[in-house]
Structure 1
């Protein structure tokens, strides 16, 4: 992967998968902006890779817009945006709903991806194209029993990526998702003893997948990442259409 002369922005970039991706992008020659709520950690990693620290809450629209604007202004362009920040729910989501916790996971896992993509698109247009990659999860492809809210948010990211990709691809902007299984990162640290000998991904495994998607991904693909397997696009099964084989209409709700 050769990213010399390219600029990247990584959210949730100060630890775990985000930090591994920041280092991988920088090693490939990109200048990288590290966006994270942990100001000190973001600055430490940005100093390490010669990049830029952007502290703030990614679930806030103004924060995401400013992060994209500052990164583009500082680097002169923006080519790669990795929307990686994520949290878990800490509740079942099926009873005794904690509204604040629900709003938090929706804000970070869903709103941040929407805010980040919509902010990044104009910058990538100005750069002549680029890639937006969202970190979803295997829970975006299959249900995760016991964590309905996390499953909800990651299914939303996968659907959003797949629906946004075709139109943006016409402008040279590729949109993808990476869908890791359980990874040994701070996100699962509280539950780490429960996994026992279950094989876990490392942050580097997911960075490998990020690199693979950037190198050879096709618009709208959502790549699974599992221990011991090569990352690859997930093969979604086609949903049966109307009887008789009629093609679906090309409808834009903006026209209505």
Structure 2
């Protein structure tokens, strides 16, 4: 048990946190990044609903944060709506949605292509963000606004030849954040993405030996959670925050697309 977890269990909230009075949903909250996010938001005063297909792990985290657990398959639209309804029933509304559920693709586009694996990864990595956003927007609007943070990846900012389908999922999440953030701003709803490199989570388990062998640093889950808290308590929207070992997290600066040039025969 980490010091953060020990505090969460042993010390009740005393008020005054940056998120005091706020209600948060965390998908993929049973372990790794989602676990750290749930604990961090609770320490900041939020009341948290932990959502995951891992009931045992999800309930453990919910107990740690003094919140509630809800089993949820984020690839199913109705499950996302039921999750939001659950949060509203227990806490009266929703202010923050961390759409964090995700998984590795596990196949490529060659002879190893597997339609079921592809659909499963798309369902978690992209559909979960789209369906989760669609489900939570009415609840955020009812509160006068709120914050959505989707977990993307550095794979959404760069080419990933080892897993092009995962990169495609995460590039889509980045594109959604950049496009939807400004669109929702007039409603006081902020939509951002967080883009970690190799961070401590189940998703890197197949790569862990390789990372250790090549001495590539693994980003602590707490670093990602702290960045998410900065995003939630900030005022930016449409941003994609990169998290890379040895660097301070910050919004990625996208280059401007070149404007139209003169026709070649002009």
Name the TM-score, length of structure 1 as normaliser: 0.92
> Which residues in structure 2 correspond to 1:108-127 (within 5 Å)?
108-127=124-143
Secondary structure of 2:101's aligned partner = coil
Long gaps (5+) in structure 2: 1-16
Cα displacement (A) at 1:117: 0.4
CA displacement 1:75-134 (0-9 Å, x = unmatched): 111100000000001112344410000101110001010000011110000011100000
Q: Is 1:32 aligned to 2:48, yes or no?
A: yes
> Could you say which residue in structure 2 is the equivalent of 1:241?
259
TM-aligned CA deviation for residue 217 of structure 1: 4.7
Determine whether 1:230 maps to 2:248: yes
Aligned to 2:156: 140
Aligned residues: 244
Partner in structure 2 of residue 49 of structure 1: 65
Is contact 1:176–1:217 with CA below 8 Å preserved after alignment? no
Q: Distance between the aligned counterparts of 2:145 and 2:119, measured in 1?
A: 33
SS at match of 1:239: coil
Separation in structure 2 between the aligned mates of residue 89 and residue 138 of structure 1, nearest angstrom:
15
1:109/1:179 Cα in 2 relative to 1: closer, same or farther (>3 Å)? same
Structure 2 residue 237 is the aligned partner of structure 1 residue 214 = no
Q: Does 1:14 align with 2:37?
A: no
Q: Conserved in 2, the CA contact under 8 Å of 1:94 and 1:148?
A: no
Judged with a 3 Å threshold, the aligned counterparts in structure 2 of structure 1 residues 236 and 95 are, in CA distance, closer, same or farther, namely farther
> What is residue 66 of structure 1 aligned with on the other side?
82
Give the match's secondary structure for 1:237. coil
Contact 2:18 2:233 in 1 (8 A): no
> What is the CA–CA distance in structure 2 between the aligned matches of 1:58 and 1:210, rounded to whole Å?
20
When the two structures are superposed, what TM-score results if normalisation uses the length of structure 2? 0.89
Deviation at 1:166, TM superposition (A): 1.2
Q: Which residue of 2 aligns with 1:251?
A: none
The question of 1:202 aligning with 2:220 is answered: yes
Which secondary structure does the structure 2 equivalent of 1:170 belong to? Answer: helix
CA distance in 2, matches of 1:213, 1:155: 19
Separation in 2, partners of 1:183, 1:157: 18
